C-alpha cells in the first residue's frame, strides 16, 4: 500500500485542516446524481441546459456546437471569438492528428512506464509549494479512493524534462487558437498558461474566471466533464453563492455543482428578472471525449469530472481579446509587458501601436518602457530642481530678514524695498544680456519654449526649465503662474508652476 501512504501525505499537505476527506459521503451519493445527468446529455443528443428568467437579454442556446473538421480559422474568429461566444468544437484531435487520442487513453497511460515514474503536481501546500506525486501512485488512487473531492493532477511543468516533454508532442494547439500572442515572450517570463489534466470522478475546479483577461480552450481526450458558464454581467457575489453556502459546508467543485448551484438557480427563478438577478443566466452542459471547449474572457465557469478524465487546457491571448489582456498585463506583469511590447513592435506593429494608444488614453506610464521611463526620469529631475531652487530662495529670504532685524530700525528706503530686489544691469545697446533668473516655458500664452519638447502630456504638467545659475527670483508679472513664496501656505501654492 505504498501508493496510499504517498497520497495520504499529499492530502495532508494540500488541505491540512481537513481531517476526514470522506465526511460528506459523496462517493456514495454522487453516482446517482451523475447518472441522471449522463442520461440526458449524450454525445448524439446533447441537452444544453439554460437557466434564465423571462426578459433576460441572453441567447437561449449556448455554447455554440461546431464541427472542427469543417470550421475555418477566419469563420471562428469573426463569428464567435470576436463576439465572445462560448463554443464546443468537435473533432479537433482527430482532424489535427493528435497522438494523444491513443496515448492518453486510461489503459495506455497505465502501461506507460516512462510517465508512470514521473511526478506531477496535484496540489499546493499553505506556502504555495507544489505537491507532486508519481503518476503510478496517482492512477492507483484515482481508481480506489472514496474522497468527497479527490486530488486532481493539474500540471504545467511538463516541459521541464525529457520524459514529461513528450506530452508536448502528443497534442497541438488547435488551429483556431494559433495566434497566441504570449508566445512572443519567453516561456520563463510568461505566466503559467497550459496544464495537463488527469482527474478522478468527483474532482474539478470551482467557479473562476481566467487570469489577465485571457480566454481558454480545453480539450478532453478521455471521460466526461460537466461545465457551468455565467456571462460576464452576472455579479461575482451571486456566482460565488453568497448566502447559499451553509455553515460547515465546503465549496469544492462537487459541492458547488450538487448543492450550491441548485440553490442559486432556485433563487434566480424566484427573483425573476429583478434586483441583482436582472439579466441572470447560467448555461450547463457535458463535455465528451474529443470535444474542445472555448471559454471567452470574462466568463465565469466551473468544471466537475463526471468520470475519470484526461485532457489538456491552455489560456491564450489573440488579436481578438488583445485590448482587454493588455490592460491587465501592463499593470499585473510589468516586466513581461515591456518585453511583450518590444516583440509586438516586430511581429504585430498595429497591436503595439494600439497598446501605446491605450496607455496614452488612460494616462498609464509603463514602469519598464524605455521611452516613458526616460521621460519620467526627466520629470523627476525637473521636480527636484524646482524643490532645490525653492529651498535656496527660502534660505536667502530668511538671511535677509535676519539681517534686517539685526540692524534695528530700517531706513525709509529699506521699508519701501520690494523683495526680491529688482537688479539693475547697465549695458550698452546691442550688448548680450543674460538674465540671472530662470527661464519659464509655458504651455499657453506668455513665454515661449526655447527648445522643442517631446514630453508627453503627463510630463508637460511641470515643463519648467531653469537657465542661468543666479540666485534671483523669477519675474513677477501677472502672466506667470509662479509667485515667490512668502509663507508656508504660499509655499505649497507655489508648487503649481503651470495651469492644471
DSSP annotation string for 371-401: HHHHHHHHHHHHHHHHHHHHHHHHHHHHHHH
Q: What is the radius of gyration, based on Cα positions, of the chain?
A: 33
Cell readout for 460 is 508637460
pLDDT given at position 485: 38
pLDDT given at position 343: 92
**Residue 48 carries which DSSP code?**
-
Final residue in a domain of this structure, among 261, 288, 318: 318
Q: Of the ranges 100-104, 285-289, 351-355, 485-489, which one carries the lowest mean pLDDT score?
A: 485-489
Judge whether 430 lies within some domain.
no
Asked if residue 140 and residue 175 are part of one domain, the reply reads yes
Asked if residue 369 and residue 263 are part of one domain, the reply reads no
What is the average per-residue pLDDT within 295-311?
Answer: 97
Asked if residue 111 and residue 226 are part of one domain, the reply reads yes
pLDDT given at position 191: 87
Judge whether 110 lies within some domain.
yes
Q: How far apart are CA 442 and CA 469, in angstroms?
A: 20
Asked if residue 344 and residue 300 are part of one domain, the reply reads no
pLDDT given at position 443: 39
pLDDT given at position 104: 97
β-partners of residue 269 are none
pLDDT bracket for residue 373 (50, 70, 90): low
Asked if residue 359 and residue 278 are part of one domain, the reply reads no
pLDDT given at position 1: 62
Residue 105 has pLDDT above 90, yes or no: yes
Asked if residue 123 and residue 210 are part of one domain, the reply reads yes
What is the average per-residue pLDDT within 321-348?
Answer: 93
Judge whether 3 lies within some domain.
yes
What is the average per-residue pLDDT within 3-14?
Answer: 94
Q: Pick the closest to residue 68 from 291, 220, 289, 225 (CA basis).
A: 291
Asked if residue 366 and residue 305 are part of one domain, the reply reads no
Residue 404 has pLDDT above 60, yes or no: yes
Q: How far apart are CA 158 and CA 162, in angstroms?
A: 9
Omega prior to 141 cis, within 30 of 0: no
Judge whether 393 lies within some domain.
no
Q: Pick the closest to residue 201 from 134, 251, 145, 252 (CA basis).
A: 145
Omega prior to 186 cis, within 30 of 0: no
Which DSSP string corresponds to 270-326?
Answer: HH-S-GGGTT--EEEEEEETTEEEEE-TT-EEEEEESS-EEEEEEEE--TTTHHHHH
Judge whether 32 lies within some domain.
yes
Per the CB < 8 A criterion, the answer to whether 229 and 63 are in contact is yes
Residue 339 has pLDDT above 50, yes or no: yes
Q: How far apart are CA 49 and CA 7, in angstroms?
A: 36
C-alpha pair distances (Å), 447 with each of 25, 151, 258, 439, 463: 81, 71, 73, 8, 12
Rounded to a whole number of angstroms, the distance between the first and last alpha carbons of the chain is: 74
**Residue for grid cell 479527490:** 150
Q: How far apart are CA 79 and CA 16, in angstroms?
A: 47
If one compares 455 and 334, the residue with the highest pLDDT of the two is 334
What is the average per-residue pLDDT within 379-397?
Answer: 91
**Residue 188 carries which DSSP code?**
T
CATH assignment of the domain containing 21: 2.60.120.650
Residue 189 has pLDDT above 90, yes or no: no
Per the CB < 8 A criterion, the answer to whether 203 and 152 are in contact is yes
Judge whether 297 lies within some domain.
yes
Asked if residue 230 and residue 104 are part of one domain, the reply reads yes
Asked if residue 277 and residue 363 are part of one domain, the reply reads no
The total number of structural domains in the chain stands at 2
pLDDT given at position 472: 43
Per the CB < 8 A criterion, the answer to whether 41 and 47 are in contact is yes
Q: Pick the closest to residue 24 from 252, 300, 308, 322 (CA basis).
A: 252
The CA angle 398-400-403, to the nearest 5 degrees, is 110
Q: Pick the closest to residue 308 from 90, 151, 123, 157 (CA basis).
A: 151
pLDDT bracket for residue 81 (50, 70, 90): very high
Q: How far apart are CA 441 and CA 497, in angstroms?
A: 10
The structure's pTM equals 0.73
Judge whether 259 lies within some domain.
yes
Q: How far apart are CA 376 and CA 455, in angstroms?
A: 9
Q: Pick the closest to residue 351 from 368, 331, 364, 337 (CA basis).
A: 337
Asked if residue 237 and residue 154 are part of one domain, the reply reads yes
Domain residues for the domain of 338 are 331-388
Asked if residue 358 and residue 289 are part of one domain, the reply reads no
SS3 category, 47 = coil
370: number of CA atoms within 13 Å, CB side?
4
Q: How far apart are CA 50 and CA 55, in angstroms?
A: 14
Q: How far apart are CA 210 and CA 218, in angstroms?
A: 12
Judge whether 447 lies within some domain.
no
Cell readout for 229 is 458558464
Asked if residue 112 and residue 9 are part of one domain, the reply reads yes
pLDDT bracket for residue 433 (50, 70, 90): very low
Per the CB < 8 A criterion, the answer to whether 417 and 437 are in contact is no
Amino acid at each position: 500500500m505504498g501508493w496510499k501512504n504517498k497520497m495520504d501525505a499529499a492530502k495532508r499537505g494540500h488541505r491540512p485542516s481537513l481531517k476526514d476527506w470522506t465526511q460528506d459521503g459523496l462517493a456514495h451519493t454522487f453516482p446517482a446524481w451523475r447518472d441522471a445527468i449522463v442520461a440526458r446529455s449524450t454525445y448524439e443528443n446533447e441537452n444544453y441546459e439554460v437557466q434564465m428568467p423571462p426578459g433576460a437579454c441572453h441567447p437561449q442556446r449556448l455554447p455554440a456546437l461546431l464541427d472542427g473538421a469543417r470550421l475555418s480559422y477566419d469563420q471562428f474568429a469573426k463569428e464567435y471569438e470576436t463576439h465572445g461566444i462560448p463554443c464546443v468544437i468537435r473533432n479537433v484531435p482527430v482532424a489535427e492528428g493528435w497522438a494523444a487520442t491513443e496515448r492518453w487513453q486510461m489503459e495506455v497511460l497505465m502501461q506507460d512506464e516512462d510517465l508512470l515514474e514521473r511526478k506531477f503536481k496535484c496540489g499546493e501546500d499553505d506556502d504555495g509549494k507544489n505537491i507532486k506525486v508519481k503518476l503510478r501512485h496517482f492512477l492507483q488512487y484515482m481508481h480506489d479512493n472514496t474522497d468527497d473531492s479527490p486530488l486532481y493532477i493539474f500540471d504545467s511543468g511538463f516541459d521541464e524534462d525529457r520524459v514529461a516533454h513528450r506530452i508536448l508532442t502528443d497534442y497541438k494547439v488547435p488551429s483556431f487558437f494559433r495566434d497566441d500572442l504570449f508566445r512572443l515572450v519567453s516561456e520563463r517570463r510568461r505566466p503559467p498558461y497550459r496544464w495537463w489534466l488527469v482527474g478522478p470522478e468527483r474532482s474539478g475546479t470551482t467557479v473562476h474566471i481566467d487570469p489577465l483577461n485571457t480566454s481558454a480552450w480545453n480539450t478532453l481526450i478521455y471521460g466526461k466533464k460537466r461545465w457551468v458558464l455565467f456571462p460576464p454581467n452576472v455579479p461575482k457575489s451571486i456566482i460565488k453563492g453568497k448566502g447559499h453556502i451553509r455553515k460547515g459546508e465546503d465549496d469544492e467543485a462537487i459541492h458547488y455543482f450538487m448543492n450550491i448551484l441548485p440553490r442559486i438557480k432556485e433563487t434566480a427563478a424566484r427573483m425573476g428578472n429583478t434586483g441583482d438577478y436582472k439579466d441572470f443566466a447560467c448555461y450547463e452542459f457535458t463535455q465528451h471525449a474529443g470535444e474542445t471547449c472555448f471559454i471567452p474572457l470574462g466568463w465565469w465557469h466551473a468544471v466537475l469530472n463526471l468520470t475519470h478524465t484526461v485532457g489538456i487546457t491552455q489560456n491564450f491571448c489573440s488579436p481578438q481579446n488583445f485590448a482587454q489582456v493588455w490592460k491587465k498585463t501592463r499593470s499585473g506583469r510589468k516586466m513581461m509587458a515591456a518585453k511583450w511590447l518590444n516583440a509586438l513592435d516586430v511581429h504585430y506593429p498595429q497591436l503595439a501601436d494600439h497598446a501605446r494608444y491605450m496607455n496614452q488614453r488612460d494616462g498609464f506610464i509603463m514602469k519598464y518602457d524605455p521611452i516613458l521611463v526616460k521621460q519620467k526620469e526627466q520629470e523627476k529631475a525637473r521636480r527636484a530642481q524646482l524643490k532645490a531652487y525653492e529651498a535656496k530662495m527660502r534660505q536667502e529670504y530668511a538671511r535677509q530678514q535676519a539681517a534686517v532685524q539685526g540692524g534695528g530700525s530700517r531706513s525709509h528706503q529699506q521699508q519701501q524695498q520690494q523683495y526680491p530686489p529688482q537688479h539693475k544691469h547697465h549695458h550698452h545697446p546691442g550688448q548680450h544680456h543674460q538674465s540671472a533668473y530662470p527661464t519659464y516655458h509655458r504651455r499657453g500664452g506668455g513665454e515661449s519654449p526655447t527648445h522643442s519638447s517631446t514630453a508627453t502630456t503627463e510630463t508637460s504638467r511641470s515643463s519648467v526649465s531653469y537657465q542661468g545659475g543666479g540666485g534671483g527670483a523669477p519675474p513677477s508679472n501677472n502672466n506667470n503662474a509662479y509667485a515667490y513664496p512668502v509663507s508656508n501656505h504660499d509655499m505649497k501654492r507655489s508648487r503649481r508652476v503651470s495651469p492644471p
